[in-house]
Amino acid sequence: MTWSETMSQAARLLAAGRLEGVVIDHLPPTLRPADLAAAYDLQNAVHQVLEEAGHGRVVGHKIGCTTPVMQAFLNITTPCAGGVFDATAHQVDGQFSHATFRHVGVECEIAVRLSQDLAEGPYRRETVAPAVDAVMAAIEVVDDRYNDYTTFDAPTLVADDFFDAGCVLGPPVKSWQSLDLSTLGGRMKINGAEVGRGIGGDIMGHPFEALAWLASLRVARDQPLRAGEFVLLGSVVETKWVDQGDLIEIELDQLGSASARFM
């Protein structure tokens, strides 16, 4: 079997978790990406399968494992990126059908929207800042589509967009330049009860460090971030799993709030 055939088979198996609700038990050893470079190649193939099946197109990006709390939660020490599809991205107040997920969770994030392409890397946080049009509070929706995700290696999880299942973006704050994003506090509530909090500096010391990491990765892969895209930079609160009927509310100081209800 050629590498192209292997990727196509692996992509169909992973995409079935989202398209058909199939529980992903494992990938056979011959189909697993050998490293993170192969994982991002396979991720592209998964995106193609999902787009051709009507899942929408990739309009944004997520970065996982950018904070100590999430690295400890998943036992993975490197940032990991994935795509976010337009059909799954909501604005301010999102409503989701709980039954469409296998094991759905939520995270409290800082997000940005870009006004310029980032195509001349590598980048530092100071050099990505001019491309940021707006900063937002956001909820990332994640889905544990696996029989036991702890048995999956990081490259395989990356190939499947690292648990991504959607997001809710809060109102855009365009006057972010006056804010110290590293000290902003974030909080998450479920049904009115606080379940976690953190600060922007938990994200690699400063949220734009995560953006610089992703921008540099995408340039190195000849897939630069583009104007108009958004990026979820990382969660300041450990993933919380939710039940049907739950209302999730997040708030970040000076960035506003967003909510998600799982009907």
Q: Is the pLDDT assigned to residue 259 strictly greater than 80?
A: yes
pLDDT of residue 83: 97
Q: Is the pLDDT assigned to residue 21 strictly greater than 80?
A: yes
pLDDT of residue 2: 66
pLDDT of residue 71: 79
- Token pair for 30: 């011959």
Question: Quick one: average pLDDT of 2-9?
Answer: 79
Given CA atoms 231, 173, 108, 183 in this order, what sign does their dihedral have? Answer: positive
Residues above pLDDT 90, as percent of the chain:
81
> What is this structure's pTM?
0.94
pLDDT of residue 104: 97
74 falls in which pLDDT band (50, 70, 90)? confident
- Residue, of 189 and 69, whose pLDDT is higher: 189
Identify which of 208, 210, 217 has the alpha carbon closest to the alpha carbon of residue 131.
Answer: 208
pLDDT of residue 147: 87
Q: Is the pLDDT assigned to residue 37 strictly greater than 90?
A: yes
pLDDT of residue 3: 61
Q: Residue 58's beta-bridge partner residues?
A: 85
Identify which of 256, 222, 218, 237 has the alpha carbon closest to the alpha carbon of residue 128.
Answer: 218
- Residue, of 34 and 232, whose pLDDT is higher: 232
Mean predicted lDDT score pLDDT of the chain: 94
1 falls in which pLDDT band (50, 70, 90)? low
195 falls in which pLDDT band (50, 70, 90)? very high
- Per-residue pLDDT of 143-189, as tens digits, reads 999 988 888 888 999 999 999 999 999 999 999 999 999 999 999 99
pLDDT of residue 29: 86
Q: Is the pLDDT assigned to residue 132 strictly greater than 80?
A: yes
SS3 assignment for the chain:
CCHHHHHHHHHHHHHHHHHCCCCECCCCHHHCCCCHHHHHHHHHHHHHHHHHCCCCCEEEEEEECCCHHHHHHHCCCCCEEEEEEHHHEEECEEEECHHHCCCEEEEEEEEEEECCCECCCCCCHHHHHHHEEEEEEEEEEEECCECCHHHCCHHHHHHCHHHEEEEEECCCECCHHHCCCCCCEEEEEECCEEEEEEEHHHCCCCHHHHHHHHHHHHHHCCCCECCCCEEEEEECCCCEECCCCCEEEEEECCCEEEEEEEC
Extents of the domains making up the chain: 58-262
Listed range (33-47, 104-118, 143-157) with the worst mean pLDDT: 143-157
The residue with tokens 């970040």 is 252
Identify which of 258, 120, 107, 96 has the alpha carbon closest to the alpha carbon of residue 196.
Answer: 107
| Calpha distance 123→119 (Å, rounded) | 9
Q: Is the pLDDT assigned to residue 262 strictly greater than 90?
A: yes
Its CATH class, for the domain covering 58-262, is alpha beta
254 falls in which pLDDT band (50, 70, 90)? very high
Q: Is the pLDDT assigned to residue 249 strictly greater than 80?
A: yes
pLDDT of residue 76: 80
Q: Is the pLDDT assigned to residue 79 strictly greater than 80?
A: yes
